[in-house]
A and B are shown apart, each in its own frame.
Chain A
Amino acid sequence: DTGVSQDPRHKITKRGQNVTFRCDPISEHNRLYWYRQTLGQGPEFLTYFQNEAQLEKSRLLSDRFSAERPKGSFSTLEIQRTEQGDSAMYLCASSPSIGEQYFGPGTRLTVT
């Protein structure tokens, strides 16, 4: 399968713990995006990378959130000191330089 993959698919953590998610984009896709989706809503943009450079961050991305794409391939999204409001589906998407975005299956985070 050559689509976008995300790991883990599900994560349950206690409030205050740190979590890290991984996204592997489609090979040769330059752009990588992170979105967050809460129940009953459409996805909301968090941040995106052009190769290894992080070019835009949403105001939704507080100081507790950090994303990296060190070699321009896979990306990680870390949430520090998780809060119950962080519970959501975290989606990763990739696209060629100009083109449609293809989404991964998402990571469902539950903060208890």
Chain B
Amino acid sequence: TQLLEQSPQFLSIQEGENLTVYCNSSSVFSSLQWYRQEPGEGPVLLVTVVTGGEVKKLKRLTFQFGDARKDSSLHITAAQPGDTGLYLCAGEEDSSYKLIFGSGTRLLVRP
């Protein structure tokens, strides 16, 4: 069974600080997706990374896929209160395209 471990589980930071969230597995995924989820809502797709070593930027968010396609990171620069939420990484299995999710990182950005 493929598993994804996310760290940290919780993060509380001051507005303007930088942070990094990690997503690690012993398995290889064909792609990895990052989502953000608000309470009571479904996950919203932020980005998909496909190629080992790939780096994608979305405004203040930088996503990286590990060279071996087993791990990924999300870096947020100058965090804002609007970044508060649950960040989920999800790896895509080759055979069925189903997603294996990490348990999430709950981020709180204090004004």
Contacts and interface: CB of A to CB of B under 8 A. Distances in A.
A39 B65 CA distance: 27
Contacts, number: 60
Nearest to A46: B98
A105 B40 CA distance: 8
Interface residues of A, number: 26
A31 B33 CA distance: 17
Interface string A31-70: 1010100001111110010000001100000000000000
Contacts of B43: 43, 91, 103
A101 B45 contact: yes
Interface string A97-112: 0101111111010000
A106 to B, nearest CB: 5
Interface residues of B, number: 22
Nearest to A106: B42
A87 interface: no
B42 A42 contact: no
**Is chain A's interface secondary structure helix, strand, loop, or mixed overall?**
strand
B42 A44 contact: no
A45 B97 contact: no
Contacts of A100: 33, 45, 48
A82 interface: no
B29 interface: no
Given A33-B99, A100-B33, A103-B42, 8 more contacts: A4-B42, A40-B104, A42-B104, A45-B98, A48-B98, A56-B98, A95-B97, A100-B48
Interface of B: 4, 6, 33, 35, 40-45, 48, 88, 90, 96-104
